[in-house]
Structures are given as structure tokens and as C-alpha cells.
A and B are shown apart, each in its own frame.
Chain A
Amino acid sequence: MTDDFEAIVVGAGMAGAPAAIRLARAGANVLLVERAPEAGMKNLSGGILWGRDLDAILPRWSEEMPLERHLVRKRFGFLTAGDAVSFDLEDHHWRRPPYRAHSVLRARTDRWLAHEAESAGATVVTSVPVERLNWEGTRVHGIVQGGEPMTAPVTLICDGANSRLSLHTPIRPEARLSASATELGIKEVYRMAPSVLEDRFQVGPGEAHAEEWVVGFLPPGVMAGGFVYTNRETVSIGLIVNIGSLFGRQSYAHDLLEQFKMHPAIAARLEGAELVEYGAKLISSGWASRPRAFHGDGWMIAGDAAGFVFSNGLVIQGMNYAVRSGLLAAETALEAKSAGDGSARTLSRYTDRLESSGILPDFREFEGMDRVKWNPRFYTAYPRFAAELLRGMMADPSGRKRPARRLLREAQKAAGLGTRSLLSDGLDLLRHL
């Protein structure tokens, strides 16, 4: 029996669409299936697209893709109820092409990518939420839609963080994703005239400012980070909260975003801006949310669906890993095509490539960072500690000059941070960051 396609890619996002482009360009008969009525309409991210992984298939992507702005400044900081402590990284290389990172709005970028896939010769179908993978024993033989199988020797699972296709299958035997290894991202987009935006965020035309905060004034136990990214004429502001940390706190996730937004350090720059969109998505948590395997007979899994979101507090990156893993899967699918063999043996080259390209090592090596990242003290005591210490050193609230070791003790006391915790957390951080 001949198959309907040579490869099926499920999900027109940052993993699936580039994979479909790569496959179609190489002459493969590829189907890209998307559940949204138009690619991009169901996709959402922070979002900063780091790196230049798209260069491999779209040499002119940074000129042609509807990007927002190129990043020139990245801020990291801690917020307490009334204070903000932060530092900025400004690398002068970021101001000149080739740009290192861009702010993006996914409804725009992903629509463009799907269009590129279509131009390259892929069959793109939208409004089709795939029901399930077509399992034949332990082999995946395409997908099932409307009760009908649609077959291909190789299926690329790129259905995002909420990967319904992999749950409850040998890929992810559990019935639901783990609450402690999954985050909820909630985001608002505000419209702002570019001149106002550039003035308030101190960037030039076309330049983006990005900031990420540990939000240290939420109800105790709630572990969340906030972000602000500037787009062409909008600002994306969002909160990323560990889902398990919400349990038993009697706090509404959507209220937490408002609390972050109303912080004086954040709110001032949004004055008068009009809310134009609200949205939310799940965020995978790297190694902790990885599937049982990344390939098997007839399938490979890439992008958020594979858990490829790297976040250690200082960095949160998913889209670059999506593009890279999607392209590696496409490469492997092409080998399977020429070998006429979509078995796990051939597709194991995908997992090999995830290793040799550094993707799996990135996630594996930083596994311990989860302990640091999900240490509740990081979200309560440390923001307070940092603010008190710096206030003592820089603003001299007592009117007296005091030695650093005394200020340190006082900041520890104000933050309720024992020396033993400070030392062990410090060691953890050094070991895992």
C-alpha cells in the first residue's frame, strides 16, 4: 500500500513550519497540518526569537519575515512590593546586523512561515485538529482525522507544549502533563505609538528592549516571573507561573499578571496604552517535561512538544530550540525517505543529532537548575534581600555609613534569610547556573 504522503508534520509553529519548508524544498511530498483556521492564529509566545537558526532554510528571513524589532538590551531583575533591582546587558554587536534576537508576534511570523512552506511545495491544511496518531502496534503510521487515517512513513509531532498527540501514548504514557514541570504563561499586548514606545523604553527605531523579572511580591509560595518585550508598535507584557505553585494559594493566575503590571517599575511605561490582546499558553520545562523518547517507529517529536524550552531564570528560550529541532527532524526524515525506511533505527539519527547539536546536552546539563529555579526563596526572600542590601549600600537609609558585612546581616534579617540557606542556595546556584 502506498502512503498518502512521504512525511506528515503536525503543527505549523516554529518547529513544524520550518521542518515542512526543509522537506518540501528537498522534494518530499509533505503534509503540514494545522488546527487554526489560518497558521499562527492559535500560536502565542513571549516572545523573543533568539539566534539565527532559520538561516539554514530562509537566508533572507530577517528581512522578509514580519519581525517586530531587533533586541539591543536585555534586563534582568527582582521586584519586591515597592522596589526593583535590575541589571542590563547591552552588547554593541546587537545593534548591527546580523541581529542576535528579535521580538516577534506569532500570529504574524507563523502565518508567514506557513506561507513559505506552501510556496516551497508543502501541502498545508488548516482548521484540522488532528485526532490522534495512527498507531499500528508500536509504529506510528501517519495520523487519524475524522476517523480516517492519513498515512506517511514518517510523522513529525510538533503540536506544542500542550501536546495532545503524545499524551496517553508510549511517547508520554501519563494522562496529563506534570503540574510541577509545566508553567502557565499569560500575556497582554498593549498598543503604543512607536515614538512613545521608543522614548519610554530608550530604544531607537527598529530596536527592542526586553526585560525579565523575578516577581517577589506575590502571595507566598507562588513562583512566577514577569516579562516586558517591545514590538514594532505594541508592548508584550506577561507572567510565567509554575502551575503547581498556584495550588492551595487562593490566587487567580490572571490577577497575578495584573499585580505584576501594576508594579510602579512596570506600570509607568504603559500609561495610556491600549490593551489590544490577551492570551495564555502552557510552557514546557525542559528536561523535566521531556517525553519517553524523541523518536520511534515512524515518528519524531520536536519543539515545545518535546519539552524544548530552556529557562533558568536568566534566560527563557523556546523558539530557537523549536526551529533547530524541527530542522534536525526534517533532515532525518529526508534520510528515511532515501533509505525507504521510517523505522526507529533510521530515525534514531534524530536523537543522535539532538545530542551532537547540543540541544539535549543543554537541557540535561541544566536539569539541576530546576532546583534553583523552583526554590521558593528565590521568589520571596532573595528579591527582598537584594533590594535591602543595595539600598543599604547605595542609598544609605540610616544616614550613617555602615560596613558591608553589617548591611549584609541586616538585609538577611529583613528578608528572613538564614546564613545556612544563603550559603547552600549560593552553592546550588554556582553548581547549576
Chain B
Amino acid sequence: MTAAAPAPESSRRRPVEAVEIKRRLGTLRYTTDSAEHAHITVVPAICARCPHSRCTFVCPAQCYQRIEGRLLFRYEDCVECGACDIACDQGSVTWNFPRGPYGVRYAYG
């Protein structure tokens, strides 16, 4: 599900590899806040009957995954972009910035 599509046929060699999203997220440093202070929350009952799960497609950090019909959400990998808040039209996502020193820390940016 997370692997990128193969390169167009015309590329004979494979000069650079698609990097699985988990490995890409692995380049980031986080200071993770405790779960009761998660900066984004969802309402599972709303997500359960969501017709489109847009969040799973827009989130660049794969914080949202639909697995066997259930929406799994984890705030820990969030890069704080805000795309899920824009995508969710079901009223499930409550979005805030992380508290104080928590969340992602870019070294390059």
C-alpha cells in the first residue's frame, strides 16, 4: 500500500530507489508528547462511517490508515502540516499545534 509506483517503463536503470514512507519519516527527529496531550484527535465513531477517508490520502506522514474498515490514527509521526484538517469534512479531526517543545524538529527545513 505504501510502496511508490514503479518508475515509468522508459527508465532502464534504477538510479534512485523509492523510499518507503516509514523510512522517510525515520529521517525526522521528534519530541513526542504523551497520548493524553495528542495535538490532533479524531472521533472513531465518525471515522467508522466516513465515506471517503480523505485523511489517509492527503496525510504526508501516514498518520491515518484504514485497515480492515477501521481508521487507525497515530499522532506521533505528524509533521504538523494541517492537510488532514482541510481534508476532513466529517467533523472528526480536531487540530492544534503540539504543546511547548513537542512535535517534529527539522534540521534542514
Q: Residues of A with Cβ closer than 8 Å to B?
A: 35-37, 40-45, 81-82, 105-108, 110, 127-129, 161-162, 164, 176-179, 182, 184, 186, 188-189, 217, 234, 236, 243, 246-255, 258-259, 261-264, 267-268, 270-273, 275-282
Contact = CB atoms under 8 A, between A and B. Distances in A.
Contact of B10 (A107, A110, A246, A264): A264
A252 B61 CA distance: 10
B31 A262 contact: no
Contact of A262 (B16, B58, B61): B16
Contact of A254 (B31, B60, B97, B103): B60
A217 B87 contact: no
B7 A263 contact: yes
Interface centre among A42, A248, A268, A279 (most CB of B within 10 A): A279
Interface string B34-57: 000000000000000000101011
A275 B24 contact: yes
Contacts of A182: 86
Given A106-B106, A128-B100, 5 more contacts: A40-B106, A106-B108, A127-B100, A184-B58, A249-B57
Contacts of B25: 278
Contacts of B18: 258, 261-262
Nearest to B80: A42
Contacts, number: 185
B27 A81 contact: no
Contact of B97 (A35, A258, A267, A268): A35
Contacts of B82: 161-162, 177, 282
Given A247-B87, A254-B21, A259-B4, A267 B15 contact: yes
B70 interface: no
A107 B24 contact: no
Contacts of A177: 82, 85-86
B98 A277 contact: no
B69 interface: no
What secondary structure prevails in chain B residues at the interface with A?
Answer: loop
Given A106-B109, A108-B109, A282 B24 contact: no
Nearest to A36: B105
A251 B8 contact: no
Q: Which A-B residue pairs are the 8 nearest by beta carbons? A: A258-B4, A107-B109, A106-B109, A162-B82, A82-B10, A271-B15, A262-B7, A280-B60
A276 B15 contact: no
Nearest to A271: B15
A246 B83 CA distance: 11
19 contacts: A36-B105, A41-B106, A82-B8, A127-B101, A164-B97, A179-B86, A243-B83, A243-B87, A248-B52, A252-B57, A252-B62, A258-B4, A259-B5, A263-B8, A264-B7, A268-B15, A277-B106, A277-B107, A279-B106
Nearest to A109: B109
A189 B16 contact: no
A188 B5 contact: no
B81 A281 contact: yes
A267 B52 contact: no
Given A127-B101, A252-B2, A279-B79, A189 B57 contact: no
Contacts of B15: 267-268, 270-272
B35 to A, nearest CB: 18
A247 B52 contact: yes
B27 A280 contact: no
Contacts of A108: 108-109
A200 B53 CA distance: 41
Contact of B27 (A40, A248, A278, A282): A278
B28 to A, nearest CB: 6
Contacts of B11: 262-264, 267
Contacts of B104: 41-42, 279
B81 A82 contact: no
A247 B54 contact: yes
Interface centre among B19, B85, B106 (most CB of A within 10 A): B106
Interface centre among A234, A251, A282 (most CB of B within 10 A): A282
Given A258-B18, A258-B19, A280-B81, A37 B31 contact: yes
